[in-house]
Amino acid sequence: MIENNELYLQTLGQNAKQASYGLASLTGTQKKALLSAIAASLTAKSQAILAANQKDVAAARENGLSEAMIDRLLLDDARLKGVISDIDNVISLNDPVGTELESQLLDNGLRLSRRRVPLGVIGVIYEARPNVTVDIAVLALKTGNAVILRGGKETLNSNMALSEAIREAITEQGLAADSVQLIKSPDRTLVSGLLKLDQFVDMIVPRGGQNLQRLCAEQATIPVILGGIGICHLYMDKDANIAKSIEVIANAKVQRPTVCNALDTVLIHDSLAETALPQLFSNLSAQGVSFYGCEQTKAIADKLGLAISTATDETYGQEWLSLTLGIKVVADIDTAIGHIRRYSSGHSEGILTDNIHASAHFINQVDSAAVYVNASTRFTDGGQFGLGAEVAVSTQKLHARGPMGLEALTTYKWIGLGEYTVRG
Amino acid sequence: MIENNELYLQTLGQNAKQASYGLASLTGTQKKALLSAIAASLTAKSQAILAANQKDVAAARENGLSEAMIDRLLLDDARLKGVISDIDNVISLNDPVGTELESQLLDNGLRLSRRRVPLGVIGVIYEARPNVTVDIAVLALKTGNAVILRGGKETLNSNMALSEAIREAITEQGLAADSVQLIKSPDRTLVSGLLKLDQFVDMIVPRGGQNLQRLCAEQATIPVILGGIGICHLYMDKDANIAKSIEVIANAKVQRPTVCNALDTVLIHDSLAETALPQLFSNLSAQGVSFYGCEQTKAIADKLGLAISTATDETYGQEWLSLTLGIKVVADIDTAIGHIRRYSSGHSEGILTDNIHASAHFINQVDSAAVYVNASTRFTDGGQFGLGAEVAVSTQKLHARGPMGLEALTTYKWIGLGEYTVRG
């Protein structure tokens, strides 16, 4: 990292930390007023924001980005209105900050409590989705945190316009504009630098693919919440209802194949394979799904005149994010669990069975953020889980696991009240 | 890291992960039986353990280690009995694993619950204290976790004897001996390797000084719980009761100066300095305390004929772990809070005051694991806080903050029960 970058990041960090002290003692009412002001400011500056986004879209076309990518970074009037109206939803959420988690009078005379408080400063690294700029800023402020944002370079103009509108609203409310800061250079070394800013930043949330997650795990000296990668499995047990299971599999694979909780691999008990696989092929092929199968699966497909690809170690380890499905016939439940332990990313897995013992065994032995019995993996989602908002989906085990709501943006402090009390 | 080391660590990791699956579904009764068996095995093998420790002590003397260091690594019959009887205490603790943290029927038809489960595999790196080998193994097993231990090289013989006794008891109970594994080589590259074993290890707990903490923050790709460094402050407010405050300060500094929750710096309001500092000097000097003071503090000491050292940026940033105390006169409470923000390690700080507004302001604005009003910093301790056991004292904000009890060795998984339920 060149010297100026280091200086720039130090300044961002110091400003964010300083701003966080002001946010920590805001009341719920003050935070609601702040978020309302942000919504109003974004509405007032809509034209400038859309114009900035148009610049990003034009540059993307010039650089030959795919239409899917351009659609992702596009903000039109309707989408921006949607982003702004989502702020009302966050305003109405319960503010977890200030809750006393426990309180007791210790034998030593100290009144000890544990109080939920903001984390302080959160760093978020994300891809070319300008809505994330607003989402994350609003969720951070709702919980009294300052935030440093690093969005995809393809949306830098959009993010600058959005963050300026947000900062103006913050200033209007008499708070430090640096409560929300955007890294304004696309220089990649700034990401590495942000990951080492442990003096000022309390948590890093990378919202992006495998490479970004790995970069953060390897380079960060700040705690990182890894997540968002879902290699998801459903196991059809020998005691599964075949027709109903296929409905669940189809939902998990087809309803929205491009997201992390979509199904990647079906494991099917040997005794059901001959009966169930033809029905599964027929249902899913009609919906445009293609398959990678084990030898046994391929033999059954062959008999039906269906050509499918050969599953390998590599394909079983893949998050498809498309209408592709891996299939493997297994001898028993423990072989299924073994496969999951080997290939799962710890996101979402399920068993399909009418057998209570198989269900309990699967729940106990599969070590993922969400484990389902007779349900679609598509349920792993902050909205579906009733969290009101979703910061990210964590696939690691510390601090927060699975869909992260507002509480994941807080920590606690211990408070001890004495009467000039000493330890005996 | 040489190739054999990598192979060795991969094997430890795989074995630990495999063992963790067996531990995850043990009942509370089975875990109690396991810990009792460990206590019995350690008792039965006491002679071998003490003999191994004698080898470590002899080597330490030969290598010219300080008597303080040798005392730390020494296990005699009484100490070993103490370590073993502590196991009974852990047996009697409530087992947090299996608790349902919440359970609800979602509108979408899914019955969703959050269940507390073991973390999986924990790596602990610690210094030359053989009692930690037993403490950590027992706490990990109580919560259904496998553990990889890396103790100080000065106690390798002791740790091998202790871990062998533990492993024999585990085998006797029909479980995988590799539930507890010790790294048996003093090679330092194994520490770096352990920190990158993210495929198998879920959490690293470094129990050691600043250098070890920094090494872990920089090199680990596994979540690390930093902690155990306490640069602790007490602020004597303008509305403090001077005599009572000095009692608290004396307790925080003198009662056990070598531990992390001992006091390092007193901040004193300008208006009290002339009256309070002479009393403070007199009380603490009599107990063997020496001082580093700001200019104003030194001037007051001078008038009393007391020679004290000059406090600097560096001395204010120091964890003394000895009968040394920094003193600074401050103009007001916000200057005190500013000093704490700059120099504190986020462990324990307190205000001494009779003023309710100053108390609330200090609690809100000081961002440390434990914040006290009119109480000694020495209370920050798992035993004092009623946690029953202490894994470590965390000074970071994610997952666990302050004294960590058994819950900090667990995570949760989301469990969704459906009736072949799909997402609409």
Nearest CA-CA partner of B241 in B374, B335, B379: B374
Mutate to test the interface with B, among A236, A244, A423 (most CBs of B within 10 A): A423
Asked if residue A2 has pLDDT above 70, the reply is no
CB–CB contact B365 A247 (8 Å): no
Whether residue B212 has pLDDT greater than 80: yes
Q: What are phi and psi of A125, to 5 degrees?
A: -115, 125
Predicted confidence (pLDDT) at residue B36 exceeds the cutoff of 70? yes
Lowest mean pLDDT among A158-172, A262-276, A374-388: A374-388
CA A349 to chain centroid, in Å, comes to 17
Pairwise CB contact (< 8 Å): A25 & B241? no
How far apart are alpha carbons A69 and A64 in whole angstroms? 10
Q: Do residue A365 and residue B24 have CB atoms under 8 angstroms apart?
A: yes
Asked if domains A3-226+399-417 and A232-384 share a fold, the reply is no
Provide the residue ranges of all domains of chain B, joining segments of one domain with +.
Answer: 3-226+399-417, 232-384
| Model pLDDT, residue A390 | 87
Give the 3-state DSSP-derived string for B189-241, with helices as H, strands as E and coil as C.
HHHHHHCCCCCCCCEEEEECCHHHHHHHHHHCCCCECCECCCCEEEEECCCCC
Residue B212, classified by CB atoms within 10 Å of its CB into exposed (0-12), middle (13-18) or buried (19+), is middle
Residue A1 has pLDDT above 60, yes or no: no
Mean pLDDT value of segment A190-219: 95
CB A339 within 8 A of CB A316: yes
Asked if the model's pLDDT at residue B384 lies above 60, the reply is yes
pLDDT at B1 over 60: no
- C-alpha A174/C-alpha B317 separation (Å) is 33
B110 chain-A contacts, CB cut-off 8 A: 375, 379, 384
Determine the CATH number of domain A232-384: 3.40.309.10
**Is the CB of residue A119 less than 8 Å from the CB of residue A145?**
yes
A228-275: pLDDT as tens digits? 999 999 999 999 999 999 999 999 999 999 999 999 999 999 999 999
Q: Which of B120, B217, B252 sits opposite A221 (nearest CB)?
A: B217
Q: Who's near A202: CB < 8 A, 6+ residues apart?
A: A119, A120, A121, A122, A222, A223, A411, B396, B397, B398
Best CA proximity match to A374, nearest among B421, B112, B108 = B421
pLDDT in tens, B310-354: 999 999 999 999 999 999 999 999 999 999 999 999 999 999 999
Average pLDDT score over residue span A356-362 = 97
CA quadruple A187, A189, A195, A199: dihedral sign = negative
Q: Return the number of other C-beta atoms located less than 10 Å from residue B321's C-beta.
A: 15
Neighbours of B148 (CB within 10 A): 25
Q: Which two tokens stand for residue B240?
A: 């403090």
Rounded to whole angstroms, the Cα distance separating B283 from B288 reads 9
Q: Which two tokens stand for residue B37?
A: 């068996």
On chain A, the residues whose CB falls within 8 A of the CB of B398 are: 119, 202-203, 223, 398-399, 411
Tell me the pLDDT band of A41, cut-offs 50, 70 and 90: very high
Task: Check CB contact under 8 Å for A420 and B369.
Answer: no
Mean pLDDT of the B39-67 span: 97
> In the numeric block, which tokens belong to residue B6?
């990598």
**In Å, how far are A328, A334, A395, B273 from A234, measured between CA atoms?**
11, 14, 17, 70
- In this prediction, residue A108 has a pLDDT band, given cuts at 50, 70 and 90, of confident
Give the torsion through C-alpha atoms of B204, B206, B210, B215, to 10 deg: -40
Partner-chain residue, chosen from A352, A369, A413, that has the shortest CB–CB distance to B413:
A369
**Is the pLDDT confidence value at B68 over 90?**
no
From chain B, pick out residues whose CB is under 8 angstroms from the CB of A232: none
Contact B375, A416 (CB under 8 A): yes
- pLDDT beyond 90 at B294: yes
**Structure confidence at residue B108 (pLDDT):** 86
Fold of B3-226+399-417: Aldehyde Dehydrogenase; Chain A, domain 1 (3.40.605)
In terms of Cα–Cα distance, which of A323, A341, A321 is closest to A267? A341
Q: In A, which residues are within 8 Å of B117 by CB distance?
A: 367
Over residues B99-122, mean pLDDT: 95
**Looking at residue A81, what is its pLDDT?**
97
Residues 6+ apart with CB under 8 A from A39: A84, A87, A88
CA A390 to CA A400: how far, in whole Å? Answer: 12
Distance from CA of A225 to the nearest CA of B (A): 9
User: Distance between the two ends of chain A, CA-based, in angstroms?
Assistant: 52
Cβ–Cβ gap A370/B248 under 8 Å: no
Q: Which amino acid is at B12?
A: L
**Please, what is the Cα angle at A92 between A87 and A97, to 5 degrees?**
100
Mean of the pLDDT values across residues A51-66? 96
Q: Does residue A186 contact residue A128 with C-beta atoms inside 8 Å?
A: no
Q: What is the pLDDT of residue B79?
A: 96
CB atoms within 10 A of CB B397: 23
The amino acid at residue B386 is G
| Inter-chain contacts counted by CB atoms under 8 A, chains A and B | 218
Task: For residue A22, give the chain B residue with the closest CA.
Answer: B365
Q: Select from A350, A384, A413 the Cβ nearest to the Cβ of B368.
A: A413
**B234: which chain A residues are within 8 Å (Cβ-Cβ)?**
none
Radius of gyration of chain B (CA): 24
The confidence score (pLDDT) of residue A384 equals 92
> For A115-161, how does the pLDDT look when each residue is reduced to its tens digit (9 = 90+)?
999 999 999 999 989 999 999 999 999 999 999 999 999 999 999 99
Strand order in the sheet with B111-118: A309-310, A290-293, A324-330, A263-269, A232-236, A348-352, A370-375, B410-421, B111-118, B100-105
What average pLDDT does this structure show over B216-228?
95
pLDDT at B128 over 90: no
Q: Which amino acid is at A40?
A: A
Q: How far is CA A280 from the centre of its chain?
A: 30
> Residue B336 is encoded by which pair of tokens?
């005190």
| Chosen from A232, A413, A417, A419 to mutate, greatest number of chain B CBs within 10 A | A413
Angle at B49 between CA B44 and CA B53, to 5 degrees: 160
Nearest CA in chain B to A255: B423
Q: How confident is the model at residue B378 (pLDDT cuts 50, 70, 90)?
A: very high
Is B414–A402 a contact, with Cβ atoms under 8 angstroms apart? yes
Q: What is the pLDDT of residues B248-287, one digit of tens each?
A: 999 999 999 999 999 999 999 999 999 999 999 999 999 9
When the pLDDT of each residue in chain A is averaged and rounded to a whole number, the result is 96
For residues B118-140, average pLDDT: 95
Residues of A in contact with B18 (CB under 8 A): none
- A371 with B247: Cβ contact below 8 A: no
Q: Is the pLDDT confidence value at B3 over 80?
A: no
Any idea which residue has 């001077």 for tokens? B242
**CA-closest candidate to residue A79, choices A68, A71, A88, A89:** A71
Q: Which pLDDT does position B2 carry in this prediction?
A: 58
Alpha-carbon gap: B253 to the closest alpha carbon of chain A (Å): 11
